[in-house]
Structure 1
Amino acid sequence: IASDVDGTLTISRSSYRIDIDAVKAVQTLEDNGIRVILVSGNALPVVMGLSRYLGASGAVVCENGCIIGYKGKVIRICKRHTREAAKIVIEEFNDILSESWQNAYREYDFAFHIKSNEYKNRQSEIVKTIQEFLNKQGYSWVRVVSSGYAIHLRPLDSDKGKGLLKALEVMGISPQEVVGIGDGTNDVELFKVVGLAVAVANADPELIRYAHIVLTKPSGKGFAELASMILRARG
Structure 2
Amino acid sequence: MAVSRTADEELLRTVAGEFELEFVDTGYAFHLTTPGVSKGAALTGVAEVLGYDPAAFVAVGDSENDASMFDVVGEAYAVANADETAARAADFVLDRGYIDGTLDALRAVRNAEGE
Cα distance 1:204–1:172, how it changes in 2: closer, same or farther (>3 A)? same
State the Cα distance separating 1:112 from its structure 2 match. Answer: 2.6
Q: Which of the two has higher C-alpha Rg?
A: 1
Structure 1 alignment gaps of length 5 or more: 1-109, 120-125
* Structure 2 residue runs without a partner (length 5+): none
Contact persistence 1:143–1:153 (CA under 8 A): yes
Closer, same or farther in 2 for the Cα pair 1:222/1:142, shift >3 Å? same
Structure number with greater CO (CA < 8 Å, separation at least 6) is 1
Select which of 88, 91, 94 maps to 1:215.
94
After superposition, the CA RMSD in angstroms is 2.1
Choose from 82, 85, 90 the match for 1:203: 82
Contact 1:198/1:211 (CA < 8 Å) preserved in 2? yes
Q: Identity across aligned pairs (percent)?
A: 32
CA distance in 2, matches of 1:225, 1:133: 39
Secondary structure at 2:4's aligned position in 1? strand
Q: Are residues 1:224 and 2:103 paired? A: yes
Match of 1:130 in 2: 12
TM-score by length of 1: 0.44
**Residue 42 of structure 2 corresponds to residue 163 of structure 1:** yes
Runs (4+) off by over 6 Å: none
- SS of residue paired to 1:180: strand
Structure 2 residue identity aligned to 1:197: A
Of residues 68, 73, 88, the one that matches 1:189 is: 68
TM-score by length of 2: 0.84
**Distance change in 2, residues 1:194/1:134 (3 Å):** closer
Aligned to 1:10: none
Which letter maps to 1:194?
V
Deviation by residue 1:206-228 (Cα, 9 ceiling, x = unmatched) = 21111111111111111111111
Residues 129/165 of structure 1: CA separation in 2 closer, same or farther (3 Å cut): same
Matches within 5 A, 1:111-130: 111-115=2-6, 126-128=8-10, 130=12
